[in-house]
Amino acid sequence: MKQPAKQTPQEMLSARKAILQEECRIREQKLNDDFSYLRENAGSLLLSGLSGLIAPNTGTRKQTNVTPVKTNVGSPASSVFNLADLLSTTKVLWPVIWEIAQSMLVSWGINRIKQWLFKSKK
């Protein structure tokens, strides 16, 4: 039987490069699809996120058969937002907060550099 020809290292690298380029193209297409979905549905996604903040206990969560705990009116357990809701909300909103903070820091940094450059020219 005839054995297949052994590939040279350059041919193996070329084949691997072609495979990686195809994987990159597929991932890029998926990212483009995701971004177009986000652009088309940004309003409804934002509103659903805000409604989740306002009424965190509504929605598709499964209800369990747990008897309510009697608490005093002033106790922390009776508050509308408890610590777990606050932490989960912060976890969800962290990427948005970071994007806003990052753009503010970049803007501030650019202004500081401009001020520094123009002061050094005078």
What is the rounded CA–CA span in Å between residue 48 and residue 50? 5
pLDDT band at 78 (very low <50, low <70, confident <90, very high): very low
What is the rounded CA–CA span in Å between residue 97 and residue 105? 12
Question: Is the pLDDT assigned to residue 28 strictly greater than 70?
Answer: yes
What is the rounded CA–CA span in Å between residue 114 and residue 78? 52
How confident is the model at residue 56, as a pLDDT?
A: 61
How confident is the model at residue 45, as a pLDDT?
A: 74
Question: Is the pLDDT assigned to residue 72 strictly greater than 60?
Answer: no
